[in-house]
Amino acid sequence: MIARLRGIVDSIEDGKCVMDVSGVGYLVFCSSRTLGALPDGLTTLLIETQVREDAISLYGFFTSAEREWFRLLTTVQGVGAKVALGILSALSPDQLIGAIAGQDKGALTRAPGVGPKLAVRILTELQSKAGVMPGGGTEKISAPNLRGNGAEVLSALTNLGYKRMEAEAALAKAIEAHGADAAFDMLIRAGLKALAK
Give 69 or 40, the one with higher predicted confidence. 69
pLDDT the model gives residue 163: 72
Using alpha carbons, select from 124, 116, 126, 49 the residue that is nearest to residue 93.
Answer: 126
Q: Taking the chain, what is the end-to-end CA distance rounded to the nearest angstrom?
A: 48
Show contacts of 165-173: CB within 8 Å, 24+ apart. Answer: 165/136, 165/137, 165/139, 166/195, 167/98, 167/191, 167/195, 168/139, 168/140, 168/141, 169/194, 170/194, 170/195, 171/141, 171/145, 172/141, 172/145
| Range scoring the smallest mean pLDDT among 38-42, 77-81, 128-132, 185-189 | 128-132
The pLDDT confidence band at residue 19, using thresholds 50, 70 and 90, is very high
Query: 92: pLDDT confidence band, cut at 50, 70 and 90?
Result: confident
Q: Kindly report the CATH class assigned to 4-62.
A: mainly beta
Mean pLDDT of the chain: 84
Give the pLDDT band of residue 50 (cuts 50, 70, 90).
Answer: very high
pLDDT score of 147: 54
Q: Quickly name the fold that domain 64-136 has.
A: DNA polymerase; domain 1 (1.10.150)
In this model, does residue 3 exceed pLDDT 60? yes
Q: What is the pLDDT of residues 111-158, one digit of tens each?
A: 999 999 999 999 999 888 876 676 643 333 343 345 567 777 877 887
